[in-house]
A and B are shown apart, each in its own frame.
Chain A
Amino acid sequence: MISSDGIRGYNDMMILYLILTEPSYGYQISREIKSRTDGKYIIKETTLYSAFTRLENNGYIESFYGNETNGKRRTYYQITKAGKDYYKEKCSEWELTKEVVDQFHHKS
């Protein structure tokens, strides 16, 4: 398990990555994050929701209601053009961060 503090700045990047090609909904995104990290990172529901609202307010994602399945209406999120640009920005920021932090990483 990873501390949520350390990864905070990159939740947006993970979410955007998962909807780069097709829209997705809350639980699917949460489940993908868990399975892609082998359960090393489990995103909290409130973290996810606060990221959705922030990203949507900034115009990086759009939400819409999907078709009802089993009487349940899910909110889907899809990435916008600005969102894709922001994602690329985050990727290069991560490259830089990794490079910088690595300078202080004592490899044992």
Chain B
Amino acid sequence: METIISYIDNLFSSYPDTPQARKAKEELLGIMEDKYNELKAEGKSEHEAIGIVISEFGSMDEIASELGSDKKITIEKKEMEEHINQKNITSSEALEYLKRQTNFSFKIAIGVVLCILSPVIPGILDAIGKSGIILEAFADAVGGASLFLMVAVAVGIFITAGISNSRYENYDKIEIKLDFSTRDQISKQYEAFNQWFGIKIATGVILCILSVLPPIFLDAFFKAYWINQLSGISIFIFVAAGVFLFITEGMRKDAFEVLLGKGDYAPKTQKQKKAKKIIDLFSSVYWSLVTVVYLLWSIITMKWGFTWIIWPISGIIFSAISTIISNLSHTD
């Protein structure tokens, strides 16, 4: 029946929302629902029933004059797409989506943590190698291998997780329609989630800040190479723990916001959409150029230790320009 309802919603979406149109929609859906139920009772499959009901619906032209407006509103193609870009989601689909996104966020977070931690084993082995307990060349070889192995495992996780999550890839581009009770239920979950969200993100930030403390203190008191090496490694471990929190919490928040149409996923006005398109286009050109400049500058001067400064600066310039673009498109 969901399919039939969204079919009718789509057909009516290009007509003005008048009392007559609502009455027509209700009456037509009533007849279609009766027909659908009877077909199901006769033993027809879901697909067959929907097929028959839709094929016997007829044409909107026939009732257009009874919809309280003489003519169909001429809608721009863009807006037509907007109507098509709505999706009705059942309660179980919504809960399934949340569950899968949580699962997906854990996989991505584990992958990222593996990448961040990949220098840890080489670092430890290097410290041991330098201290002469094991052969240094052996330590370097095993350490290097372990680094690539961890990155390879992470990439494997990204790819498989990405593929299994690909069926949801259009969720953040369309407007999700939930029925009232499902929306209410998910809003409550979202509120409960939000109570802890701030604390968890703050914990992540604190972990990242604290990551520099072990090297600072240990290096001040101890001069041994292996201690300096291990204190450096501890940065990765702290940062990995913080990043794990950012990713899992951030992605879960996104999943809630996609379903509820909040935050970045709030339905946008025509102007906002236009601004977003301009910014997207600008962004792809801008970052490609920055990358070219960075590579050229670094390769020509070979000052790799300094040229990275282009990234934070470009980031600040980018956010300034995006703000200007979205403000300009609001005011005109």
Contact = CB atoms under 8 A, between A and B. Distances in A.
Contacts of B250: none
A64 interface: no
A25 B66 CA distance: 19
Contacts of B34: 26-28
Main secondary structure of the interface of A (DSSP, over half): helix
Interface residues of B, number: 19
A72 B38 CA distance: 15
B28 interface: yes
B58 interface: yes
Nearest to A54: B66
Given A44-B57, A45-B57, A50 B30 contact: no
A30 interface: yes
Counting chain A CB atoms within 10 Å of each CB, the highest count among B24, B31, B59 belongs to B31
Nearest to B57: A45
Given A31-B38, A50-B62, A50-B63, A45 B24 contact: no
A26 B30 contact: yes
Given A31-B38, A49-B24, A53-B66, A44 B59 contact: yes
B243 interface: no
A52 B26 CA distance: 14
B70 interface: no
A46 B28 CA distance: 7
B27, B33, B60 pick with most chain A CB within 10 angstroms:
B27
Given A50-B66, A53-B66, A44 B31 contact: no
A45 B65 CA distance: 15
A71 B65 CA distance: 30
Interface string A41-85: 010111111101110000000000000000010110000000000
25 contacts: A26-B34, A27-B30, A27-B31, A27-B34, A27-B35, A27-B38, A30-B35, A31-B35, A31-B38, A44-B58, A44-B59, A45-B28, A45-B32, A45-B56, A45-B57, A45-B58, A46-B28, A46-B57, A46-B60, A46-B62, A47-B58, A48-B31, A49-B31, A54-B66, A72-B30
Interface of B: 24, 27-28, 30-35, 38, 56-60, 62-63, 65-66
Interchain residue pairs A-B with the least CB separation, the first 7 = A44-B58, A46-B58, A27-B34, A26-B31, A46-B62, A53-B66, A27-B31
